[in-house]
């Protein structure tokens, strides 16, 4: 039995993503809504919808599956007589016009280069987009020239970035990594960002972004800036208002629920694509679970985890 558990901004988005993974139509699956999701306040702090989509047993053979892009390419590669005949007829015509087409393309490229050569007019000050709370003067051109150690340098660099982004009413603490969600075994220290006002949780959500993408970019940028001033392989993590711990708890709970379902049904469940740091949390959460095993499949941003019977 084929099962996919996915998330999306709405239930419909999550179902569409699952159908794409399974290569099925909606009438060929059963849909279970695990969480409907919510938009949150002003688009911040919302939760994504989660669905579990299972391919129906009846009429669920491979012949009924929607062809993937690779499958369609293979069909074209295998070919049929009608396509071969059309290709043959076009070949003779194309052979005579290739040199003419090349000359035309060269002329168009030259014309485009001439048309695209223009003066770049700067944006008027009245049209600039201002970041609320961002500094308008005394902006640091670089992190401070002197620091006590790498931790001091990373903290001051992170402070400068937060100030430039308008998050001046925040404070930063540093601690040792404690769990896989912190990056235990992979990072040296964790820098926690906290707000100081009642409305800060909503504001800090902008630093986290969708699925933590903005937070991950902030962490990456700060590490890059620090690495230009010091030698070594130190890596530091950044967290905002305990987000990484909450995300780790949520993933661990979900992983154990899926493991129980796999043990009960014998199905192989494929999770939605997720970054390496989140996949590591799931792998570690199920490492000692009896009767199930995990593996990563796919490449790049589409890499996923399969949970299967042992």
- Per-residue pLDDT of 46-60, as tens digits, reads 577 888 889 887 543
What was the pLDDT predicted at 129? 46
**Dihedrals phi, psi of 263, to nearest 5 degrees:** -65, -40
Residue 69, C-beta contacts closer than 8 angstroms, at least 6 positions apart = none
**78-113: per-residue pLDDT in tens?**
334 444 444 444 454 555 555 555 555 555 545 544
Kind and range of the H or E run holding 280: helix 276-285
* Secondary structure (3-state) at 49: strand
More confident residue, 8 or 111: 8
Is pLDDT above 70 for 166? yes
Give, as one character, the DSSP assignment of residue 149.
S
More confident residue, 42 or 276: 276
What was the pLDDT predicted at 158? 93
Residue 205, C-beta contacts closer than 8 angstroms, at least 6 positions apart = 40, 44, 45
Residue 285, C-beta contacts closer than 8 angstroms, at least 6 positions apart = 251, 252, 255, 256
pTM of the predicted structure, to 2 decimals? 0.55
What was the pLDDT predicted at 79? 38
Average pLDDT over residues 197-205: 67
What was the pLDDT predicted at 8? 81
- Contact predicate 51/15, CB 8 Å: yes
Residue 187, C-beta contacts closer than 8 angstroms, at least 6 positions apart = 177, 235, 236, 237
Terminal Cα-to-Cα distance of the chain (whole angstroms)? 16
Residue with tokens 């790049």: 300
Please give the domain boundaries of the chain with CATH numbers for all domains: 2-60+246-309 (3.30.1370.50), 150-241 (3.30.300.20)
Name the band, by pLDDT with cuts 50, 70 and 90, for residue 198: low
């Amino acid at each position: 039995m084929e099962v996919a558990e996915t998330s999306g901004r709405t239930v419909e988005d999550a179902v569409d993503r699952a159908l794409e993974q399974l290569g099925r139509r909606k009438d060929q699956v059963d849909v279970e809504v695990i969480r409907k999701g919510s938009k949150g306040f002003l688009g911040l702090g919302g939760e994504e919808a989660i669905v579990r989509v299972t391919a129906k047993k009846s009429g669920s053979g491979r012949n009924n599956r929607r062809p993937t892009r690779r499958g369609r390419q293979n069909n074209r590669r295998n070919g049929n007589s009608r396509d071969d005949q059309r290709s043959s007829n076009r070949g003779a015509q194309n052979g005579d016009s290739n040199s003419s087409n090349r000359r035309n393309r060269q002329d168009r490229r030259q014309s485009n280069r001439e048309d695209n050569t223009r003066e770049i007019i700067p944006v008027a000050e009245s049209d600039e987009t201002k970041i609320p709370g961002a500094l308008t003067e005394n902006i640091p051109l670089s992190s401070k020239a002197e620091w006590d150690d790498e931790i001091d340098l990373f903290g001051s660099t992170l402070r400068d970035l937060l100030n430039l982004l308008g998050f001046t009413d925040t404070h930063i603490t540093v601690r040792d990594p404690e769990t896989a969600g912190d990056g235990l075994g992979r990072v040296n220290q964790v820098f926690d960002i906290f707000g100081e006002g009642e409305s800060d949780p909503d504001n800090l959500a902008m630093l986290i972004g969708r699925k933590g993408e903005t937070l991950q970019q902030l962490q990456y940028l700060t590490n890059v800036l620090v690495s230009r001033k010091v030698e070594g392989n130190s890596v530091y993590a950044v967290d905002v208002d305990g987000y990484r711990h909450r995300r780790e708890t949520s993933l661990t709970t979900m992983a154990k629920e899926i493991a129980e379902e796999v043990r009960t049904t014998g199905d192989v469940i494929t999770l939605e694509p997720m970054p390496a740091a989140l996949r590591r949390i799931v792998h570690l959460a199920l490492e000692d679970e009896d009767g199930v095993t995990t593996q990563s499949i796919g490449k790049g941003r589409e890499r996923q985890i399969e949970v299967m019977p042992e």
